[in-house]
Structure 1
Amino acid sequence: MKAWLLKDFGLNNLELGDVPVPVPQQGELLVRVGAVSLNFRDKAIVDGIYEPHKVPKPLIPVSDAVGEVVAVGAGVTRFQVGDRVNSHLYSHWLDGAPAPDEPEYCLGSPLPGGLAEYMILHENGAVKAPAGMSDEEASTLPIAALTAWYSLMDVGNLQPAQTVLVQGTGGVSIFAVQIAVAQGARVIATSSSDANLDKIKALGVSDGVNYRTHPDWEQKVLELTGGKGVDVTIDVAGGDGLNKSVLATKAAGVIAQVGFLTGQTAQLQLMPVIFRQTTIRGIAVAPRTSFDRMNPFLDRHGIKPVIDKVYAFQDTVQAYEHLARGAFGKVVIKVAD
């Protein structure tokens, strides 16, 4: 089969090659990949800034995939040949709290990912893909949609009429907007682009704040909420900006720390955290059962993923370059013709 192989760190070391089609073992599915979507994690792995000591070489990267089951190993009962399934990043995290070793079983590193014509999924870590979505659409769900869902619904316990703050207009943030609006919540968004703020308002965002023209954007968020702050903040930026998220979030509110776009370390001002009694919860996607709950919600509310561009399999490098420039929504690679 054709597969993209990361032979060393750096996008110039991601090469298209030939490798044997894997054979499904006990409990495993062989999936013909239809499409994959890119996340910041995928770029960080290629760049060598995401747990580089755990990245095997060569590696077939990319965790988020959808495809058709074409063969099954012994003992498989959850799926059969012909079913369409999504991958799930934390392939061993099925329910409840995560185990300490969940990162050892992540697809796209250290386990092989979906940037190939075929991939192996264990039946317990696969999820039935939504029937109402194309492969390109369904490929966007495993990290971006599920992270937003888990942050808002399972961790944030979002209720109708509450207020959510999302940062930027990438995949997680846009899904968070769509889910929060469907739940009946108010959404405030930040971005450095007025054009992107106009686009995201079309999805139901009530107010947009340009953090370049309003560097003290947290004060603007407080103004928009009558001085109270938002109930739930989806923080994709990380870095020292976390202090602004604390100030923009209500007393006893929740910050879902899902990303590190501006840095993996933060000099945190502790007194606001203490006095505002803020919960800062690290979010590393979600268990599979949360994915199982999310898909019917997306179907019920007619939520369709926002895709910036779909690239052909042979144009994978250009897809990574697009992600590095920034995207409104998701960057997708169509694998199957």
Structure 2
Amino acid sequence: MRLVRLRAPGGLGNLDLVEEDPPQPGPGEVLVRIRACALNMRDDFAVQGKMPLADGRVPLSDGAGEVIALGDGVDALRPGDSVVSVFYPWWLGGDMTPSTRRDIPGESFDGFASEYVCMPAHAFTRAPAGYTHVEAASLTCTGVTAWRGLIVCGKVKPGDAVLVLGSGSVSLFALQFAKAAGARVIATSSDEQKLERLKRLGADAVINYKSVPDWGRKAKDLTGGRGVDHVIEVGGPATLAQSIVACRTGGHIALVGVLTGFAAEVSIPALFSNQIRISGISIGSRADQEDMIRAIESNRLKPVIDRHFPLQDIATAFAHYESRKHFGKVCLDV
């Protein structure tokens, strides 16, 4: 089988396409023929050597394919089932704990940049009916993050106002989930073409945050001065203050990203005087993913895919991802 291994200390030039024997499933495991993977920011951090990885690690946390064989004791899946990976294989449901957040594919053990993988059956869920493998691979990290931030923790309801920042994949999923829930969506970007695409995807109003630096106030004005009910906050330090301004009293901020850094000054009085709730979102559980997939099927939602590359062009795929010119998921065909 073909797979990619990352040589220490990382870097796109250290992604090696190699040939190895395929694994065999043990008790409780499934053998999956991976057909597609999706790239995420944490994958980029990993391959660039910005987080410690074992030499020779197989990268990528998001994969989809079909079940080929079952180990003893597996009865939830069958050969031929289309499946998609779970980001935290041991976080099955409920609240995250230190024990359930361990062992992330592509980090603490080998990931999905491989034609075949053997993992515990609970490391996968069934893919949405009618999805291609590329579409299914897009869900694991960004889809579940948007779902947990908006639906599980935010409890969005019809008539709510949702502010999504930028046009990254988490924001695109959140836009679609919010519209499916009957909410009104305000979206931001600094790119006029992307703003037009956000409107075509369903955004009710858009803001160019470069031409409107006080975009939090603008978002609040677009709600008649009430403020938004939810913010999908992907920027972090450079955007959090404006997200707070945009919120209504009692509003909710799903903090899901750190695109602008890791530390920020926050106005504590603005938070407690307005009773704003901030939820730190780190993907979600297997149960969250299954709930999301049922909602996707019921609402016939489709992810936004930018481009997909063959496995041997994984470095080119990461270079395209790092350019930030994409709109939607960057994926690999395996």
TM beyond 0.5: yes
Between the aligned partners of 2:44 and 2:263, the Cα distance in structure 1 is 18
Distance 2:296 2:271 in 1: 34
Partner of 2:329: 330
> Equivalents in 1 of 2:299, 2:227: separation in Å?
27
Deviation of 1:317 (Å): 0.9
Q: Which residue of 1 aligns with 2:109?
A: 111
Q: Which residue of 2 aligns with 1:7?
A: 7
Q: Secondary structure at the match of 1:70?
A: strand
Q: Distance in 1 between matches of 2:229 and 2:55?
A: 43
Aligned mates of 1:28, 1:19 — CA distance in 2: 19
Runs (5+) with no aligned partner, structure 1: none
Q: Residue 137 of structure 1 is aligned with which of 135, 138, 153?
A: 135
Q: Distance between the aligned counterparts of 1:227 and 1:308, measured in 2?
A: 35
For each residue in 1:245-268, what CA deviation from the matched residue of structure 2 results, as whole angstroms up to 9, or x when unmatched?
A: 111111111111111111122222
> CA shift at 1:215, angstroms?
1.4
Partner secondary structure for residue 83 of structure 2: strand
Match of 2:217 among 211, 216, 219: 219
Report the residue type matching 1:333 in the other structure. L
CA distance in 2, matches of 1:64, 1:116: 11
Task: Answer whether contact 2:90 2:101 (CA < 8 A) is retained.
Answer: no
Structure 1 residue 44 corresponds to structure 2 residue 45: yes
Tell me how far 1:299 sits from its aligned partner. Answer: 1.2
User: Could you tell me the percent identity over the aligned residues?
Assistant: 39
Select which of 72, 85, 107 maps to 2:70.
72
Counterpart of 1:198 in 2: which secondary structure?
A: helix
Unmatched 5+ residue regions in structure 2? none
Instruction: Give me the whole-angstrom Cα distance separating, in 2, the residues matched to 1:230 and 1:262.
Output: 22
Deviations 1:88-114 (A, max 9, x none): 000100010111133422111112110
SS in 2 for 1:148: helix
TM-score normalised to structure 2 length: 0.96
C-alpha contact 1:240 1:268 (8 A) present in aligned 2:
no
Among candidates 71, 84, 91, match of residue 93 of structure 1:
91
The answer (yes or no) to whether the contact 1:240–1:267 under 8 Å persists in 2 is no
SS across alignment from 1:66 = strand
Contact between 1:94 and 1:125, CA under 8 Å: does it hold in 2? no
CA RMSD of aligned residues (A): 1.2
Quote how far apart the aligned CAs of 1:209 are: 0.7
> Given residue 22 of structure 2, which amino acid in structure 1 is its aligned partner?
V
Which residue of 2 is the match for residue 280 of structure 1? 278
Q: Structure 2: how far apart are the matches of 1:133 and 1:33?
A: 14
Q: Give the TM-score of the pair, scaled to structure 1.
A: 0.95
Deviations 1:1-32 (A, max 9, x none): 21111112222212212233222222111110
> How many aligned positions are there?
332
Does the aligned pair in 2 maintain the 1:38–1:331 contact within 8 Å?
yes
Letter in 1 for 2:221: E
1:107-127 residue CA offsets vs partner (Å, 9 max, x unmatched)? 111121101111123112210
Q: Pick the aligned partner of 1:207 from 192, 205, 208.
A: 205
User: How far apart are residue 238 of structure 1 and its match?
Assistant: 1.2
